Amino acid sequence: MVADLHLHFEGSVPEGVLTRIARRNGHAFGRPGAFAAARRRSRQSHAFLRLYADCCRAFSSPLDYAEAASALGRRLARELTHAEIYVSPEIWTRFGLDAGSVLAAIDRAFAPVEARTGCRLVLLLDTVRQWGAEAAERVLDLHERTRLPRIAGFGMGGDEASLPAREFRRVYRRARQLGLTTAVHAGEWAGPDSVAEAADELEPDRIDHGIRVVEDARLAARLARAGLPFCVAPSSNVATGAAASWKRHPLPRLLDAGLSICLSADDPTLFRTTTLGEYRRAGRIFGLGGAELDAMIAVAASARSGKG
């Protein structure tokens, strides 16, 4: 079983589908070559949050999201047996869409793909850290209203330095009470203290990124003993500047520290990668053998949401 536990919906939609939807909605990405040019510019400036926001603006209705979800599900099923995709209801709301309708449209579009291919397509509810705990509570309110079985997890991305993790303790406690697997982006841009705070204050089931934990050997050893899984996305880290290059990525140090590591594509359309591509490239660049790659694949399988 190959699973990816860290994908973001709008950044994973196949490029041709994204640009078709953008063209229909009069968005700039609908012009020939516009999306590719924006992606190149963002690689030069590491302005991926802006690029991601522009991808979100290409969508104008639940039908757009249904079309994208169907194509995304088919693409993921070609290489994975289990995929967990973050969706961001507060972003939809801020762009004038009804979050419940969008969520239902994605769910309906995934169902036939899942039935036909056998690839489990799981939704993770995402909140944006800099928008605060109240926005995060609204995301969980939506889950309580909809109770879609496909929703199996809750996580937080955004600016790691904007608000302390402790402000979200109640949110994460509530998510666990609702039976959701919890994850948090940490240690991508901020230092190892952000990983320690996230782990201690929020008690997540997984850490997304977390690469800077290697800067604190004692912390890395503690989290290795705890078996806390880290979903690491090397191509993403290089593209955003969190790591200087693939060869200088701290993946080997993370593995040497005994941490539970799996690989993820994060935003594969933005970073021009795939989940299996991440494993292949890691093996080639760092000389990892089949046993080491299989061990990371096993971490993803054991850490997946909705195992029951």
Q: What is the mean pLDDT of residues 198-202?
A: 98
Give ∠ CA 197-202-206 in degrees, rounded to 5: 95
- Helical ranges in 227-289 per DSSP H: 234-240, 251-256, 268-271, 275-286
Q: Does residue 82 sit within a domain?
A: yes
Please confirm, yes or no, whether 188 is among the known catalytic residues: yes
Out of 160, 188, 197, 278, the active site residue is 188
pLDDT value at 307 more than 70: no
Categorize the per-residue pLDDT at 279 as very low, low, confident or very high, splitting at 50, 70 and 90.
very high
Here the CATH number for the domain that contains residue 107 is: 3.20.20.140
Q: Does residue 47 sit within a domain?
A: no
Count of domains for the chain: 1
**11 is in which domain, residue-wise?**
3-19+57-303
Q: Which two tokens stand for residue 12?
A: 């994973």
Q: Which of these, 275, 274, 251, 210, lies nearest to 3 by C-alpha position?
A: 275
Q: Does residue 127 sit within a domain?
A: yes
Q: Does residue 308 sit within a domain?
A: no
Model confidence over 214-262: pLDDT tens digits? Answer: 999 999 999 999 999 999 999 999 999 999 999 999 999 999 999 999 9
